[in-house]
Structure 1
Amino acid sequence: MSGLTSTTPIPTDVVVHSKSRVLELQYADDTSYRVPFELLRVYSPSAEVQGHGPGQETLQTGKRDVTLIGVDAVGHYALQLNFSDGHNTGIYSWDILHNLATRQDDLWHEYLAKLEAAGLDRDAPMTAKASGGHCH
């Protein structure tokens, strides 16, 4: 998991745009990024999504219409995002958020390629894990 680095910019403002389903991150250098909720959700840093090691990731589907129903500060280093599908275990440190914001195009391409390789549709509902785990 990414840790906070001394060079990571910290947002000066975070705005939830519910209608357009994006989280806007504004920075002191006057840059701002609008990160879609779906991207935030499918790249959640939680163990539920990322697993506990390489190759244990759970490919997320059916998240196009997910919304943010809450944003909570975690100390001075991260946000905890609460999604409409019940997912709320991801702690998004400032560096994770900045990475998602600045690499959106690459991450979308990577996500869509993983879906295609797995033969999954982006809008397919999530299925319960056979290992007894649960999806929210």
Structure 2
Amino acid sequence: MTDTAKVWPTELRLREDKKTLHIAFDNGEEHDFSAEYLRVCSPSAEVQGHSPSQKKTVPNKRNVGIMKMEPVGNYAVRIHFDDMHNTGIFTWTYFLDLARDKDKHWGGYLAELEEKGLSRD
């Protein structure tokens, strides 16, 4: 596996529908991320909490969009979602983790929704 600390994005492109973010990396990897996936996996304290026991399950985000992105130093971007959430700082390493372990992250999220009687809608 590639050392994620040395992987650098070469392209960040928000699709016209504002629902998909495309990222290409200098190691040849390219990934598409739905706005919903990024929103429910936001690295913010509001979603992740300050410990694993404080992690929140965020329902009703199937139709969330991305309004804008802004650079944070040279290591991350802050994503502004149209539900006004904007406190997550997405590092290049975190994007790679979300892409490479999508089944774990997304599957865990769907299981949490079901367990708590919540919905994506």
Q: 1:76-114 deviations in whole A, cap 9, x for unaligned?
A: 111100000000000011111111122222221111011
Amino acid at match of 1:21: K
Deviation at 1:18? 3.6
1:42 pairs with one of 40, 43, 65: 40
- The match for 1:83 is 81
Structure showing greater Rg: 1
**Equivalent of 1:51 in 43, 46, 49:** 49
Query: Which one has a larger percent strand, Structure 1 or Structure 2?
Result: 2
Equivalent residue pairs, number: 119
- TM-score for the superposition, normalised by structure 1: 0.81
Distance (Å, rounded) in 2 between the aligned partners of 1:9 and 1:30 = 10
The within-5 A match list for 1:14-53 is 14-19=12-17, 21-53=19-51
Q: CA deviation at 1:57?
A: 1.1
Question: Does the Cα contact within 8 Å between 1:23 and 1:34 map onto a contact in 2?
Answer: yes
Which runs of 5 or more structure 2 residues have no equivalent in the other structure? Answer: none
Q: What's the secondary structure of 1:38's corresponding residue?
A: helix
Q: CA offsets, 1:26-58, max 9 Å, x none? A: 012332100111000001011111111121011
Structure 2 counterpart SS, 1:12? strand
Mapped partners of 1:7, 1:95: distance in 2:
7
Aligned CA distance change for structure 1 residues 102 and 6 (closer, same or farther; 3 Å): closer
**Superposed CA RMSD:** 1.6
The offset of 1:8, in angstroms, is 4.5
The residue aligned with 1:120 is: 118
Which residue of 87, 99, 102 maps to 1:101?
99
* Bigger proportion of residues as helix: 2
Identical pairs, percent: 39
Please identify runs of 4+ aligned residues in structure 1 that moved more than 4 A. Answer: none
